[in-house]
Amino acid sequence: MHLWKTVAIVGVGLIGGSIGLALRQRKLAQRVVGIGRRQETLDQARKLKAIHHGTTELADGVRDADLIIVCTPVNAIVDHVVACAAYSSGALVTDAGSTKSHIVQSLDEQLPRGVRFVGSHPLAGSEKTGPQHARADLFEGRVVVVTPTRRTARSDAQAIGQFWEALGARVVSMTPAAHDAAVAATSHTPHVVAAALAAATHTKDLPLVAGGWLDTTRIAGGDEELWRQILLDNRENTLAALERFQASLSDFRAALEAANGAKLKQLLGKGRKRREEASA
Amino acid sequence: MHLWKTVAIVGVGLIGGSIGLALRQRKLAQRVVGIGRRQETLDQARKLKAIHHGTTELADGVRDADLIIVCTPVNAIVDHVVACAAYSSGALVTDAGSTKSHIVQSLDEQLPRGVRFVGSHPLAGSEKTGPQHARADLFEGRVVVVTPTRRTARSDAQAIGQFWEALGARVVSMTPAAHDAAVAATSHTPHVVAAALAAATHTKDLPLVAGGWLDTTRIAGGDEELWRQILLDNRENTLAALERFQASLSDFRAALEAANGAKLKQLLGKGRKRREEASA
């Protein structure tokens, strides 16, 4: 039995495309409709079997949906959810944005009573974009944060949790504010650090980069417009997390300046242990 | 036909073990002898077919070698090469140290005339250590920097280049000083940045780490004693490269503080382009 009749995905890129692929391969929805700006991308998603049908008309795409997932860039999510709510007839709506406080608060204020929205953030991004990089297993074993508020019906939060779990994800429930503070440290600051490291490397030194540099800078390959939006949206938390990183780096630098091997080893050991704790 | 009769590997860990595996699988040496401090590690390397024979006695191990590769931690290399030279009869000697200036200069000063040493650095390290992580293909397609000096016979530098090429590597020849300045930016600073980022992440936030944080901090899992030695040995270059990184990070931070989206996007774009240049 299908969990959903018609699922509408607004924005069929890496995340939206992967949701569609997973829904279809796991036979979780009778019909998956993709909504996008460019017919070409929708045709590509249809050929990849991420969606059954694609349309550039939001109203058409969401009309019959019982579940809508908005997978557009952070700055577009609020408007898209508001439009989805206007055109759909009682669908449950979620998003996949990397930030939550502003999005969820705006929607709590703007959405008419009775519209059912629950914020989500699948921690499954990549430096790659577009449906051609979509994978049916993208969410398997990954964490998805769901951010209900006082306005959210418990049954809606549960349904959205079940949706992500059906795609193989592990669901964590948090407030939007707690989510944004945590991902500032675990995602947004690493992005800034990776980009700053790549940008600081002279072109003449690039022939000597190896696995270490390539790993450390991998996420710097991400789309700068998407990340501009994320970083500005979560600006204060990211600045606070950046400050903690800069203080940590200053400790390493001071130990190296003083040629204090014992202190340097202690700091390196702290980093190694924290790394091992995370991957355990 | 074998390229070498007897190859002695001093220090049979990730790098030394991988050299042994590659030599044996590619049938480049008649006999591979491993020299180490612990018989247990040597027995393990022998079972993995990385070496034919293992000994804890340096004099025994290197006596018949025509090629010796010293794969011990940076601080031990000079003493090991000097000892190898004393016990061997005319072998060509190289190392696999991550730094080159101090090692090569010390050996140029200390080695008796007629001892043939050429410095090497295979850019194929990993956060993993020990022969159990050794791989016969570790050097395939990787860069190995060879650092001859005025004291080096051209034929010796060529022979060491051929050795690494026979393992599948791409050989680049540089001065020890140019090598150390470049790897300060491409390897040693990324290590400090990764460790500082891991150390700055609160334990409470670890449940929300995903691919980005894990990639960016991967090398922080490396052995802190090996890295203490590398960073202190290449201290001045690393401090200079760290300063460039900190300046780059300050640009990002200033743009974020000013909520200057255009500048932020420009900086992110610079990082993305440099990243793409490197992996192209």
Q: Give the chain A residue whose CA is nearest to the CA of B262.
A: A228
Write down the pLDDT at residue B1.
Answer: 54
Average of per-residue pLDDT across B252-262: 98
Nearest to A267 by CA among A256, A278, A280: A256
Give the Cα separation of B191 and B183 in Å (integer).
Answer: 11
Instruction: Give yes or no for residue B25 having a pLDDT over 90.
Output: yes
Q: In this structure, are residues B66 and B4 in contact, taking their beta carbons and an 8 Å threshold?
A: yes
Give the Cα separation of A53 and A34 in Å (integer).
Answer: 6
Average of per-residue pLDDT across A89-117: 96
Write down the pLDDT at residue A125.
Answer: 80
Number of H helices, E strands in chain A: 12, 8
Pairing state between β A116-122 and B143-147 = unpaired
pLDDT band at A128 (very low <50, low <70, confident <90, very high): confident
pLDDT band at A190 (very low <50, low <70, confident <90, very high): very high
Average of per-residue pLDDT across A169-188: 98
Instruction: Give yes or no for residue B152 having a pLDDT over 90.
Output: yes
| Encoded amino acid at B184, one letter | A
Closest in A185, A193, A268 to B224, CB measured: A268
Q: What is the pLDDT of residues B80-107, one digit of tens each?
A: 999 999 999 899 999 999 999 999 999 9
Closest in B232, B264, B276 to A261, CB measured: B232
The SS3 of residue A34 is strand
Q: Give the chain A residue whose CA is nearest to the CA of B270.
A: A199
pTM: 0.95
Strand partners, B121: B145
Q: Judge: B201–A274 Cβ closer than 8 Å, yes or no.
A: yes
Q: Judge: B232–A277 Cβ closer than 8 Å, yes or no.
A: no
Q: In this structure, are residues A75 and A95 in contact, taking their beta carbons and an 8 Å threshold?
A: no
Q: Which residues of A touch B18 (CB under 8 A)?
A: none
Its ipTM equals 0.95
Task: For B73-142, list the strands marked E by DSSP.
Answer: 92-95, 116-122
Instruction: Give yes or no for residue A21 having a pLDDT over 70.
Output: yes
Q: Give the chain A residue whose CA is nearest to the CA of B197.
A: A245
Write down the pLDDT at residue A60.
Answer: 96
Task: For chain B, list the strands marked E by DSSP.
Answer: 4-10, 29-35, 53-55, 67-70, 92-95, 116-122, 143-147, 170-173
**Residue A208: DSSP 8-state:** G
Q: What is the pLDDT of residues B192-213, one digit of tens each?
A: 999 999 999 999 999 999 999 9
Pairing state between β A143-147 and A170-173 = parallel
Instruction: Give yes or no for residue A2 having a pLDDT over 80.
Output: no
What tokens were used for B53? 């024979």
Helix axes A235-257, A224-233, angle to 10 degrees: 100
Mean pLDDT of chain B: 96
Instruction: Give yes or no for residue A280 having a pLDDT over 80.
Output: no
Residues 203-222 of B with CB under 8 A from A: 203-222
Neighbours of B156 (CB within 10 A): 17
Q: In this structure, are residues B235 and A256 in contact, taking their beta carbons and an 8 Å threshold?
A: yes
Write down the pLDDT at residue A42.
Answer: 97
| Encoded amino acid at A197, one letter | L
Strand partners, B166: none
Write down the pLDDT at residue A31.
Answer: 97
Q: In this structure, are residues B96 and B37 in contact, taking their beta carbons and an 8 Å threshold?
A: no
Q: Which residues of A touch B268 (CB under 8 A)?
A: 195, 220, 222, 224, 227-228
Q: Judge: A193–B197 Cβ closer than 8 Å, yes or no.
A: yes
Residues 171-190 of A with CB under 8 A from B: 172, 179, 182-183, 185-187, 189-190
Write down the pLDDT at residue B2.
Answer: 72
Give the Cα separation of A199 and B77 in Å (integer).
Answer: 34
Consecutive H or E run containing B183: helix B176-183
Q: Would residue A32 be called left, alpha or beta, if left means φ above 0 and alpha means ψ between -120 and 50 degrees?
A: beta
Q: What is the pLDDT of residues B226-254, one digit of tens each?
A: 999 999 999 999 999 999 999 999 999 99
What tokens were used for A77? 């999510």
Task: Determine contact: A264 vs chain B, CB below 8 A.
Answer: yes
Nearest to B256 by CA among A233, A217, A46, A74: A233
Q: Which residues of A touch B227 (CB under 8 A)?
A: 268
Q: Give the chain A residue whose CA is nearest to the CA of B254.
A: A239
Task: Determine contact: B99 vs chain A, CB below 8 A.
Answer: no
Write down the pLDDT at residue A52.
Answer: 98
Write down the pLDDT at residue A122.
Answer: 98
Q: Judge: A218–B215 Cβ closer than 8 Å, yes or no.
A: yes
**Neighbour-count burial for A226-239, b at 16+ CB within 10 Å, e otherwise:** bbbbbbbbbbebbb
Q: In this structure, are residues A164 and A15 in contact, taking their beta carbons and an 8 Å threshold?
A: no
Write down the pLDDT at residue B16.
Answer: 97
pLDDT band at A224 (very low <50, low <70, confident <90, very high): very high
Instruction: Give yes or no for residue B175 having a pLDDT over 80.
Output: yes
What tokens were used for A127? 């430096």
Instruction: Give yes or no for residue B51 having a pLDDT over 70.
Output: yes
Q: Which residues of B touch A99 (CB under 8 A)?
A: none
Task: Determine contact: A280 vs chain B, CB below 8 A.
Answer: no
pLDDT band at B265 (very low <50, low <70, confident <90, very high): very high
Query: According to the 3-state scheme, what is the secondary structure of A137-195?
Result: CCCCCCEEEEECCCCCCHHHHHHHHHHHHHCCCEEEECCHHHHHHHHHHHHHHHHHHHH
Give the Cα separation of A70 and A259 in Å (integer).
Answer: 52
Q: In this structure, are residues B85 and B26 in contact, taking their beta carbons and an 8 Å threshold?
A: no
Write down the pLDDT at residue A1.
Answer: 54
The set of residues, in sequence order, having a beta carbon less than 8 Å from that of A13 and lying 6+ positions away, is: A41, A71, A129, A130, A131, A134
Query: In what order do the strands lie in the sheet containing A29-35?
Result: A53-55, A29-35, A4-10, A67-70, A92-95, A116-122, A143-147, A170-173
Q: Which residues of A touch B205 (CB under 8 A)?
A: 182, 185-186
Pairing state between β A29-35 and A4-10 = parallel
Closest in A190, A195, A222 to B197, CB measured: A190
